[in-house]
Amino acid sequence: MKNKEKKEVLIVHKAESLEGVLEISGAKNSALPNIASTILTDKPVILQNLPELLDVKYMNSLLKAIGSKVEQIDEKTFVYSLKEPTSLCVDYEIVNKMRASILVLGAMLSRFGEAKIALPGGCPIGQRPIDLHIKALRKMGVSIDIEHGFVIAKGRPKGSHITFDKITVTGTENILMASVLAEGETIIENAALEPEVVDLANLLKKMGADIEWNWREGSRTIKIRGVQKLKGTAHKIIPDRIEAGTFAIMSALTKSKIILKNYPYNLLTYVHSILNKIGIHIIKTGNDTVIVKREKYLKPTYIETKEYPFFPTDLQAQVMTLLSTIDGLSLIKENIFENRFLHVPELIRLGACISTINNKVAIINGVKNLSGANVKATDLRASAAMVIAGLIAEGYTTIHNLHHLDRGYEKIDLKLSSLGANIERKAVPIKENMFE
C-alpha cells in the first residue's frame, strides 16, 4: 500500500535575518575525481576535508566494490588503498545513483588496462553523453565496445594528442587519470579549467605524476608524461565554490549577518563581479572569511552561464531565485546544459514571474514577494535554489524530492538552523499524485 510509505520533506519557514558563522565544506566535484584517482596506486592515499554527502558515500561504495580498502579516520578524512582489484566491473545500480561513477574509467584503464562500467542513464538537466570521454580513450589506443548497457574497455592507454571538441569537466579528469601511467606523452587541448580539475592535477602531482599545466595563465593545454608508478600521499580537498556562492546569495537575500568561513574567494572572482553589478558585495574579513553586504535596492541584470572562469551553470538556479525578487527585467542564458530550467515552474509556484525561450533563455520579471508553497527539488543545484526561495517566501515552503539536496549539500538544514532558520525535516506519508 503506497500511502503507508513515508518520505522526507523539508519545511522551510521565512527567515527574517540570520546570524552566525557558516563553514563551507569540501567541494563535491573535487572529492569525486580525487577519490577515483586513488585507484591509480597500490599505496594508501589520505583524503582530508571530504564533504559528508550521499555522492561521497556512493563513490566510497564503488571503490569498495572493486576491492579498495576504505577506512574512515575522522568525520572528513578517509584512507584509500587498492592493492589488488576484486572486480573491474561497475554495475548499473551504482552508476544510476551517480553519473560521476564514470570517473573511475580512466583510472582503472591506466592501472589495470581493463574496465567494464555501466553506461550512465538519462539525466534531468540534459542528455549528458560520454562520447567525448570515449573518443579520447579510443585515440589513446583503448578498445571500447558498448554492449548490453556497458562500456567495455580494454587496453592500456598510450600517450596521444587529444583535442576536446567541447570543454568537458569529467572528460578532462578521466583523460588526465588515463594518461598519468600511460606510455609516452599525452597532450590534452581545450581542457576544462575548473578549479576541481586543477585540484585533481595537484593531487596527481603529489602522487608522482608528471603534469605540466599553466592553468594560472588560463592555459587549456595540459601536457602529461606517463610514469611507471604512482605513490601514496595526503591531500586536502578544496572548499566548495558552489556551496560558497549559494550561501553568499542566500545571505544577501535574507539580509543576514553571516560570516562565511573557508570561503574560496579567489575561485569566485567572476561571480563576485556579477553580484557587484546587482548590488551585492563580498567583503573579505580574514584569510578565508567573508561577509556579504547589500545595497538597499538591488538591480536586475543579464547573466550567461559559461565554463570556468565564467559564471557556473551550477549557480544558475540560485541566482535566478535572487533575480526573481529584484524589481525590473533580468535575463539568464544557459549555455552548458540543454534542460537546466527545471526549477522555473517551481519558482513560479512560489509566485515568481518567469518565462523561458527554447529552454535557453529565462526572462525574469522581478516580483515584490514570493509566497510559500509545495515545490519539488528537480535537480541537485535547483534543490538549493528552493531552500533559498523558502527562506524569503511568505509563510512556509515544503520541499519534496530531497535526495538531490542530500547528494550535494552537506547538512544544509542543520547549517541553516544553527543560524536561526526555522527548517524542519519531516517524514510524511506518500499520497497518490504527490510530487515524485
Q: Does 181 bind ligand UD1 (CB under 6 A)?
A: no
CB of 317 to ligand UD1, least distance (A): 11
Which phi and psi (to 5°) does residue 30 adopt? Answer: -95, -40
Single out the residue of 6, 166, 293, 403 in contact with ligand UD1 (rule: CB under 6 A): 166
Nearer to ligand UD1, 243 or 413 (CB): 243
Task: Mark 336-375 with x for binding to ligand UD1 (rule: CB under 6 A) and - for no binding.
Answer: xx--------------------------------------
CB of 102 to ligand UD1, least distance (A): 8
Packing angle of the helix pair 195-206, 169-179 (nearest 10 deg): 10
Q: What does the alpha-carbon distance between residue 234 and residue 224 come to, in Å, rounded to a whole number?
A: 21
C-alpha distance from residue 119 to each of 61, 103, 134, 244 (Å): 18, 12, 11, 32
Maximum Cα–Cα distance for the chain, whole Å? 62
CB of 169 to ligand UD1, least distance (A): 4
Catalytic residues: 123
> Number of residues in contact with ligand UD1, rule: CB under 6 A?
21
> Exposed, middle or buried, 101 (CB in 10 Å: 0-12/13-18/19+)?
buried
> Exposed, middle or buried, 342 (CB in 10 Å: 0-12/13-18/19+)?
middle
Task: Report which of 143, 145, 182 is spatially closest to residue 160, judged by C-alpha positions.
Answer: 182
Q: Which of residues 388-407 bind ligand UD1 (CB under 6 A)?
A: none
Nearer to ligand UD1, 134 or 423 (CB): 134
Q: Does 19 bind ligand UD1 (CB under 6 A)?
A: no
Task: Report which of 221, 219, 133 is spatially closest to residue 175, judged by C-alpha positions.
Answer: 133
Nearer to ligand UD1, 131 or 145 (CB): 131
Nearer to ligand UD1, 314 or 406 (CB): 314
Stretch near ligand UD1 under the rule CB under 6 A, chosen from 42-50, 106-114, 161-169, 249-257: 161-169
CB of 30 to ligand UD1, least distance (A): 8
Single out the residue of 32, 63, 178, 392 in contact with ligand UD1 (rule: CB under 6 A): 32
Single out the residue of 67, 124, 126, 309 in contact with ligand UD1 (rule: CB under 6 A): 126
CB of 305 to ligand UD1, least distance (A): 8
C-alpha distance from residue 214 to each of 19, 125, 217, 220, 329 (Å): 40, 32, 6, 8, 40
Nearer to ligand UD1, 136 or 421 (CB): 136
Q: Does 311 bind ligand UD1 (CB under 6 A)?
A: no
CB of 171 to ligand UD1, least distance (A): 5
Q: Does 96 bind ligand UD1 (CB under 6 A)?
A: no
CB of 361 to ligand UD1, least distance (A): 16
C-alpha cell at 48: 582530508
Cβ contact 32:59 at 8 Å: yes
Packing angle of the helix pair 316-324, 269-278 (nearest 10 deg): 10
Cis omega (within 30 of 0) on the bond before 309?
A: yes
Which DSSP string do the residues of 56-120 spell out, in sequence order? HHHHHHHHHHTT-EEEEEETTEEEEE-SS-S-SEE-HHHHHH-GGGGGHHHHHHHHHSEEEEEPP
Single out the residue of 25, 29, 110, 251 in contact with ligand UD1 (rule: CB under 6 A): 29
155: number of Cβ within 10 Å: 15
Nearer to ligand UD1, 157 or 366 (CB): 157
C-alpha distance from residue 101 to each of 89, 180, 181 (Å): 11, 19, 20
71 has which bridge partners? 79
Nearer to ligand UD1, 12 or 405 (CB): 405
Single out the residue of 10, 50, 132, 317 in contact with ligand UD1 (rule: CB under 6 A): 132
Q: Return residues touching ligand UD1 (CB under 6 A).
A: 29, 32, 100, 126-133, 166, 168-171, 196, 313-314, 336-337
